[in-house]
């Protein structure tokens, strides 16, 4: 026998779809940790290595890869190996996740530890998420242009710098046949910079001093804590694509 399935009223179907859409936009972002619109745009422009996550019919697909921001198209472009099944998820919702400075913050760095003892460890970090549908470019000319731009960007500060044209053309063509271009046309951007902005000034000063004396990753966090000091009076607003 055929199973009779109860059909939901159109109003309920619409309500459920609306709820899903609203939930998709809810992100935990305390105002203190929301970068300015200018800072978010700058972070997107310098974005490099990302985790590209795509919600495919088979489940979530994750690929680590360098991406390049195309300002004219407001898109992120990159490439994956042809053997990587990620490029078969053409058209599906994706997010590129970029991380910045991050590191552990010990309660021992807080001045208030000696005053009240009411302190706990935390983790400082920066993250930028760019959302949009995945578009695939299985086109040698498109991929060659992308690889040239990507290489030129990362070779810009090297002396001497390497160029795609330095290699034999037949070799480059063979390499290009082994990769497929991918693009995320950005629909929205979310940025978060949790850098001790919720701590009193004396605690922030302790974090900067303590981490500045640590490892290079700790020093990077110290620089960001100092740069994002809320006492500097920067305007906070979350960037949206």
Q: What is the pLDDT, as a whole number, of residue 229?
A: 86
Q: Classify residue 33: in a domain, yes or no.
A: yes
Q: What is the pLDDT, as a whole number, of residue 151?
A: 96
Q: Could you tell me the CATH number of the domain that includes residue 126?
A: 2.30.110.10
Q: What is the pLDDT, as a whole number, of residue 11?
A: 57
Q: What is the pLDDT, as a whole number, of residue 172?
A: 96
Q: Classify residue 155: in a domain, yes or no.
A: yes
Nearest residue to 91 (alpha-carbon basis) of 133, 38, 39 = 133
Q: What is the pLDDT, as a whole number, of residue 232?
A: 64
Q: Classify residue 9: in a domain, yes or no.
A: no
Q: Classify residue 85: in a domain, yes or no.
A: yes
Q: Classify residue 122: in a domain, yes or no.
A: yes
Q: Classify residue 117: in a domain, yes or no.
A: yes
Asked if residues 229 and 127 have their Cβ atoms less than 8 Å apart, the reply is: no
The domain in which residue 174 lies consists of 29-232
Check the CA dihedral 230-37-41-76 and report its sign.
Answer: positive
pTM: predicted TM-score of the whole model, two decimal places = 0.82
Q: What is the pLDDT, as a whole number, of residue 224?
A: 96
Q: What is the pLDDT, as a whole number, of residue 20?
A: 45
Q: Classify residue 20: in a domain, yes or no.
A: no
Q: What is the pLDDT, as a whole number, of residue 28?
A: 80
Successive 10-residue mean pLDDT values, the chain, 241 residues: 46 49 59 91 93 95 97 96 97 96 98 96 96 97 97 95 96 97 96 96 97 98 93 45 34
What's the number of domains the chain is made of? 1
Radius of gyration of the chain (CA): 23
Q: Furthest-apart CA pair in the chain: how many Å?
A: 75
Q: Classify residue 241: in a domain, yes or no.
A: no
Q: What is the pLDDT, as a whole number, of residue 18?
A: 45
């Amino acid at each position: 026998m055929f199973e009779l399935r109860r059909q939901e009223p159109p109003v309920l179907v619409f309500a459920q779809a609306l709820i899903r859409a609203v939930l998709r936009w809810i992100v935990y972002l305390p105002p203190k940790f929301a970068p300015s619109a200018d800072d978010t745009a700058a972070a997107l422009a310098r974005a490099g290595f990302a985790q590209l996550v795509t919600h495919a019919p088979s489940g979530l697909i994750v690929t680590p890869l360098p991406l390049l921001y195309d300002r004219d198209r407001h898109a992120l472009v990159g490439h994956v190996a042809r053997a990587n099944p990620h490029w078969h998820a053409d058209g599906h919702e994706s997010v590129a996740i970029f991380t910045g400075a991050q590191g552990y913050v010990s309660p021992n760095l807080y001045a208030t530890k000696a005053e009240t003892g009411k302190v706990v460890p935390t983790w400082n970090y920066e993250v930028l998420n760019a959302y949009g549908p995945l578009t695939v470019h299985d086109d040698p000319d498109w991929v060659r242009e992308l690889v040239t731009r990507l290489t030129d960007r990362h070779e810009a500060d090297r002396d001497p710098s390497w160029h795609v044209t330095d290699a034999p053309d037949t070799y480059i063509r063979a390499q290009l046949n082994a990769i497929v271009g991918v693009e995320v046309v950005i629909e929205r951007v979310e940025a978060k910079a949790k850098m001790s902005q919720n701590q009193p000034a004396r605690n922030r000063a302790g974090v900067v001093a303590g981490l500045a004396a640590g490892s290079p990753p700790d020093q990077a966090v110290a620089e960001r804590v100092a740069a994002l000091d809320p006492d500097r009076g920067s305007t906070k607003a979350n960037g949206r694509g």
